[in-house]
Amino acid sequence: MSPDVTAFFDEATNTVSYVACEPEGSACAIIDSVLDYNQAAGRTDTKSADKIIAFIKGHDLKVAWILESHVHADHLSAAPYLQDQLGGKIGIGDQITVIQNTFGKIFNEGTRFQRDGSQFDALFKDGDSLHIGQMRGDVLHTPGHTPACLTYVIGDAAFVGDTLFMPDFGTARCDFPGGSAEDLYNSIQKILALPDETRIFVGHDYKAPGRDEFAWETTVGEQKALNVHVGAGKPLEDFVTMRTERDAKLGMPKLILPSIQTNMRAGQMPEPEDNGTRYFKVPIDTL
C-alpha cells in the first residue's frame, strides 16, 4: 500500500511530524509529534499538536499508533496529550531501556524512574510489524544517532527520524551518549537497501545552503545518488572520519535537557516535587 502522508512542520525546532493514513480507510498513525516549549519561561503549549488533532478530526480518522522514531533531543513529544485527545498506542524501540539507563544516571533520577520502557504501550525490535487498519508497517532498528532509533516502513513510505536528512544536508550527528558513526553508516545501508522508489520522510529539515524552501520528502534512489554524506557509495571509513570531525564542532541542541527528561518518559513530565511543581534538572559540566 501507499499511505497518504501529511506533514506538519514546526519551524521553532525544525521538526517534521507526520500523519500516515490508509489510502482507503480511516486508520492512521502519528509519527514524531511536537509539544511546544518556551525554554525561557518554562511553559508548554499544544499549538503544534492541536493542528494534528484538528486534521485528524476534520478527516474523521482513527489513530491506531502514536510512534516515536527515538528519544528526541531537540523537542518535547506531545504523545500523551495526543493519546488523551485521540486514543492510540504509544510505541518506540525496545532499546529505549538503554537510553533510560544512561540518562537516568545523568539526571540522577533515583528509583522512582522506571528504566524498563514501561511508560510506553509498545516496545518494538528489529523485524517487528504493526498494523494501521489494513496497512502493515515494518520496523527497522537503525541505531547510530542514538542506540534506540527506529525506521518505520509503512507501505512504500519510510519514516527515518533523524537517521537521514534531505540529500543536500546529509545525515544525523552521532556524538550523543551511545551514538556511533559506524552504527549510523550501517543503519543507513539498511534503509538504502529498500526499493529505490520508496518514499523517505525525514524528521528534520534545516534548509541546506542555496535551498530556499523547507523540504522533507525524498526517495531511496535520490539518497543513494545524491546524499552529500553517504551517496555515490561513500565508504564507511570516509563517513566515520567526516562525521566524527563534524560532530566535534557542534553545540548541544538548545532543548536537549528538557527534551530527554520528557521523552524518555514517553512524553510525560518529571514527577512533581512536594510543592506540586514539576522541575527539569540541569546537570552541570556533564553533556
β-pair type (135-141, 122-124): unpaired
Cell numbers 547510530 correspond to 144
Structure confidence by residue, pLDDT tens digits, 103-130: 999 999 998 899 999 999 999 999 999 9
Cell numbers 515494518 correspond to 138
Of 142, 100, 102, 145, nearest to 247 (Cα)? 145
**Is a pLDDT exceeding 90 seen at residue 34?**
yes
Q: What is the pLDDT of residue 253?
A: 95
- Read out DSSP for 36-82? EEETTTTEEE-HHHHHHHHHHHHTT-EEEEEE-SS--SSSB--HHHH
Q: What is the pLDDT of residue 1?
A: 86
Of 96, 152, 63, 148, nearest to 266 (Cα)? 96
- Read out DSSP for 215-263? --EEEHHHHHHH-TTTGGG--HHHHHHHHHHHHTTPPPPTTHHHHHHHH
DSSP state of 171: B
Q: What is the pLDDT of residue 143?
A: 98
DSSP state of 169: T
β-pair type (27-31, 15-21): antiparallel
**Is a pLDDT exceeding 90 seen at residue 206?**
yes
CA-based max dimension of the chain:
57
Question: Distance between CA atoms of 119 and 113, rounded to whole angstroms?
Answer: 10
The cell numbers describing 104, all together, are: 537516568
Q: 287 falls in which pLDDT band (50, 70, 90)?
A: confident
Distant-in-sequence, close-in-space partners of 198: CB < 8 Å, separation ≥ 6: 153, 156, 157, 158, 219, 220
Question: Distance between CA atoms of 184 and 193, rounded to whole angstroms?
Answer: 14
Q: 211 falls in which pLDDT band (50, 70, 90)?
A: very high
Structure confidence by residue, pLDDT tens digits, 236-272: 999 999 999 999 999 999 999 999 999 999 999 999 9
> Exposed/middle/buried for 55, CB within 10 Å: 0-12, 13-18, 19+?
middle
Show the 3-state SS of 25-38. Answer: CCEEEEECCCEEEE
